[in-house]
Amino acid sequence: MTNTNSVQNVINEVMVTRGATVSVFGQPHKIGESVEKGYVDIIEILEGFAGYEANTTIPAQYEIAFNDKDNWYNIVDGNGIVIEAGFEYEEDADSRRVDLEGENAAAVSVEEYLDYMEELGYLEEGKGDNSYNWAGNVSNHFNMQTYRNIETGQYLVEFKVHLYGDVRGNYTDSVLLKFDNDYTFFENISECSGCESHKGYYATFSALGAEYEIYNEQDGTYVDTQYSWEDALEYIDDLVEEETSEEV
């Protein structure tokens, strides 16, 4: 049994596109090899999620069948094929059945696992969103769908990364993450916030917002907020120009 739900798989999908030429609306488009200034690298966010992967394996499905001929209980699969035979007592057969279902669990895709959990009634669907909707300052936008595992109380997030082109398509495979609460998930993203210096000032930014908050590098005082990296640079340039002219 191997759990194929992996953050590293998503990282690999993103890295393959870095520096690659892809087709966007039928036209060749070269993706940058590195992340432009003013944006949080999605790879940094993904690396922070390593170890939070949910176990997306599904137990095998077996049943107990009584063999009239031999007068014992057998463990069979959905097709009636005998997995183990020769149990005198049904309780012993059922206990072994549970063990075998776990031992023969199968690794499945995130989508298959979520379908399985929904069929069991274990999932409560939560909020879904895309960083594109709030113009997050991140190299690759990401899509998220949240769930609560009713059985364990855990907070689950189906997370995938946009690679290029139309934000309605061209995503990586999903990875399913698990946390004790939604705070931990968003805290992991916010910890990857960026900061860039420019001409005696610096701007802070995050994948969770569109803002660029500008501060004076000398004393750390807040100056202003802009809503694009280009506007932030232009604003700082104008400030420096004003300061220079006043000195003259």
Which tens digits make up the pLDDT trace of 135-191? Answer: 999 999 999 999 999 999 999 999 999 999 999 999 999 999 999 988 999 999 999
Residue-wise pLDDT for 20-42, tens only, equals 999 998 899 999 999 999 999 99
Distance CA 63, CA 97 (A): 7
Residue-wise pLDDT for 57-92, tens only, equals 999 999 999 999 889 999 999 999 999 999 999 999
Distance CA 2, CA 13 (A): 20
Average pLDDT, the chain: 94
Dihedrals phi, psi of 237, to nearest 5 degrees: -55, -45
pLDDT score recorded for residue 135:
96
Residue 3 has pLDDT above 90, yes or no: no
Distance CA 220, CA 216 (A): 5
Query: Which residue in this structure is represented by tokens 């807040």?
Result: 222
pLDDT score recorded for residue 243:
87
